[in-house]
């Protein structure tokens, strides 16, 4: 379950970092519509998404055991 959520969130973050940052900013702050992210935030979001996908595919399953057990 966690593995799937991590993979889905990572893929969304890889493909749509600007939209995700905008949506989460609006949720997290009262005046989120007025805030703008710095240019490097998109790059960091993509890197984070790639790390999440990597963890979901290679690390989480091995550490926590397989979903079949």
Domain boundaries, the chain: 1-59
Task: Compute the average pLDDT of residues 5-15.
Answer: 95
Residues with Cβ within 8 Å of residue 37, at least 6 apart in sequence: 21, 22, 25
Using pLDDT thresholds of 50, 70 and 90, give the confidence band for residue 59. Answer: confident
3-state secondary structure of 16: coil
- The better pLDDT of the pair 34, 66 is held by 34
Percent of the chain residues past pLDDT 90, beyond the cut = 55
């Amino acid at each position: 379950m966690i593995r799937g959520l991590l993979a889905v969130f990572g893929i969304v973050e890889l493909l749509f970092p600007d939209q995700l940052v905008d949506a989460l900013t609006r949720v997290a702050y009262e005046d989120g519509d007025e805030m703008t992210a710095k240019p490097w935030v998109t790059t960091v979001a993509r890197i984070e998404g790639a790390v999440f996908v990597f963890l979901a595919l290679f690390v989480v399953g091995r550490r926590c055991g397989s979903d079949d057990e």
